[in-house]
A and B are shown apart, each in its own frame.
Chain A
Amino acid sequence: DTGVSQDPRHKITKRGQNVTFRCDPISEHNRLYWYRQTLGQGPEFLTYFQNEAQLEKSRLLSDRFSAERPKGSFSTLEIQRTEQGDSAMYLCASSLTGGRGDTQYFGPGTRLTVL
């Protein structure tokens, strides 16, 4: 199965520490999205890439968050100086072209707990 994978699946950290998550999209997909989901809510858009270019960032993405997608393959999402409010499930999704009817395939997510 060559679906979207995310690593790690769970991360527990102390407030103030930096964390980095990785997403490996489906290999031929050009679009890659990051979302955040808190308990009882639907996922909320954070940012997206078209190949290696980061084209849009949500207002939810503070300056402590940075994302990269070198060479248009895997992507990383880093959170610096974590806060308890950053505790959430971080989801990655990829799609072939990014058209409005295109299916986004989601990874299993990384659950972050900030103590």
Chain B
Amino acid sequence: GDSVTQMEGPVTLSEEAFLTINCTYTATGYPSLFWYVQYPGEGLQLLLKATKADDKGSNKGFEATYRKETTSFHLEKGSVQVSDSAVYFCALIANGGSQGNLIFGKGTKLSVKP
């Protein structure tokens, strides 16, 4: 079945470091891909999304490119801040799924130290 695999955390970085969180997926056809973020004490928020191959989603300095050939949607940021400390979830909506529910990875906890 459809699934998402993302790198396990926790990831600890110093402020201004480069961030990559790997995400790969298994799905038939062309799923839509998402990154959601959960800040401490808050609900899940959409960070960025891409709905077709080679699309790049971007928001708040974060970027991810939909790579069909490698079935990946890695999250990157050039210079992280302490305020980026959160749990990041990669997710997909299957192409053939009429219900449109999100399928999530397990999440990666990021801690950024000053």
Contact = CB atoms under 8 A, between A and B. Distances in A.
Interface of B: 4, 31-32, 36, 42-46, 49, 51, 89, 91, 93-95, 97, 99-107
Interface of A: 4, 31, 33, 35, 40-45, 48, 55-56, 91, 93, 95, 98-109
B51 A100 contact: yes
Contacts, number: 66
23 contacts: A4-B43, A31-B100, A33-B101, A33-B102, A35-B102, A40-B107, A42-B91, A42-B105, A42-B107, A43-B89, A43-B102, A48-B100, A91-B43, A91-B44, A98-B99, A99-B100, A100-B32, A100-B100, A101-B51, A102-B100, A103-B46, A105-B46, A106-B36
B49 A100 contact: no
A106 to B, nearest CB: 4
Given A55-B99, A108-B43, 11 more contacts: A33-B101, A41-B106, A42-B104, A43-B44, A43-B89, A98-B100, A100-B31, A102-B100, A106-B43, A107-B43, A109-B43
